[in-house]
Structure 1
Amino acid sequence: MRHLLCHETSADLWAVDINQRYIEWIRRFLAPSLHVFQNSILPQLPLEDNSFSLVYAFSVFTHIDAFELAWLAELRRILRPGGMAYLTIHTERTWNSMNPNRALYHDILIMKDYIAECRVCPEMFRSPMPRERMVLSWQTAAVNNAILFHSMDYIRNTWGRFLDVIDIQLEGHEYQDVVVMRKS
């Protein structure tokens, strides 16, 4: 966001996050011209239809479980025709590259006793991803957390019903892959 602010001083930029601490940080340290608000887990943004030419979500769809498709519909609603979406994901490539050198690997193993979907162990990453949409979720304290992995076929076939999948860039954002999509 701060890089966009440096290069496009006249751009109408918005920032949305579910975490109030991040919203407060943005308000404190980034340009006051930035429109910022906190959203909820529900896919209902107080924004006009067809109002954005670009939406990006870094490490968002890697954590959305229950409302994933509804959020894609919401992004479709707010994107202008021809508008682009840049969304990071974990794919089967991410799954296959999991190893002790990755922080995500350790994050998952630390929570192994709380993850109900499958038996979590280091060996699981030595096998192909078992489902086209793999959800690892856990409930600790008052927070429900999830880490998701999607097959590229799932992205093309399921997400592609909402927006055109232009490209899936492997490791497009550090270890996460990027889905580039366009609203028809």
Structure 2
Amino acid sequence: MELRRILRPGGIAWITLHTEGTLKDMTPDWPLWSPVMKHPKAASLFDTEARTFEGERLVLRWLSGRSYSSNVFYKEAYVRSHWGRIMEVADFRRRHPSFQDVVILRKT
């Protein structure tokens, strides 16, 4: 909603994100590989062999006394159906430019 608020009509938002495709494409040389595959709940949250997950998104959280971080993987259908209610999903690009996918939203 904040992106919609600040964009003028016709404005474009270029957003990088991880998708189910990112999870499937990852190899051990990717920066994201180690934290995702070593997550304490990885085996219970997603199928590490097939690298798939149930539901619309996969959230891997790390909590410590000093910090909080997370990695979120979205299914493209989720982005199109939920984010598409707020703005037009003009394009969806896989691994563009390298490790992340891109969703291009346009305010109508």
In which range does the TM-score fall when normalised by the shorter chain? 0.7 to 0.9
From 148, 152, 171, the counterpart of 2:95: 171
Paired residues of 1:88 and 1:173 also in contact (CA < 8 A): no
CA distance in 2, matches of 1:130, 1:120: 8
Aligned to 1:157: 81
Q: Using the TM superposition, give the Cα deviation of residue 133 of structure 1 relative to its aligned residue in structure 2, in angstroms.
A: 1.0
Normalising by structure 2, we get a TM-score of 0.87
Contact 1:96-1:129 at 8 Å conserved across structures: no
Q: What is the TM-score with the length of structure 1 in the denominator?
A: 0.53
CA shift, 1:164, in A, is 0.5
2:17 aligned with 1:89, yes or no?
Answer: yes
Q: Which amino acid aligns with 1:147?
A: N
Larger Rg: 1
Matches within 5 A, 1:99-114: 99-110=27-38, 112-113=39-40
> Residues of 1 paired with 2:96 and 2:105: CA distance?
14
Question: SS in structure 2 opposite 1:147?
Answer: strand
Which of 117, 132, 136 does residue 56 from structure 2 map onto? 132
Q: What's the % identity of the aligned pairs?
A: 35
- Distance in 2 of aligned mates of 1:167 and 1:108: 27
1: CA distance between counterparts of 2:45 and 2:53?
A: 12
C-alpha displacement of 1:177: 0.4
Q: Please tell me the residue identity of whatever aligns with 1:98.
A: M
C-alpha distance in 1, partners of 2:16/2:27?
A: 20
Q: Which amino acid aligns with 1:119?
A: S
- How much has 1:119 moved relative to structure 2? 2.9
Equivalent runs, 1:16-35 vs 2, <5 Å: none
Distance in 1 of aligned mates of 2:79 and 2:102: 11
Structure 1: any 5+ residue segments left out of the alignment?
A: 1-72
Aligned to 1:34: none
**Relative to structure 1, is the Cα distance of residues 134 and 120 closer, same or farther in structure 2, using a 3 angstrom cutoff?**
closer
Higher RCO, 1 vs 2 (CA within 8 Å, ≥6 residues apart):
2
1:5-54 Cα shifts (integer Å, max 9, x gaps): xxxxxxxxxxxxxxxxxxxxxxxxxxxxxxxxxxxxxxxxxxxxxxxxxx
Distance 1:126 1:162, change over 3 A: same
The Cα of 1:118 is off from its aligned counterpart by 5.9
Aligned 8 A contact 2:45 2:58 in 1: no
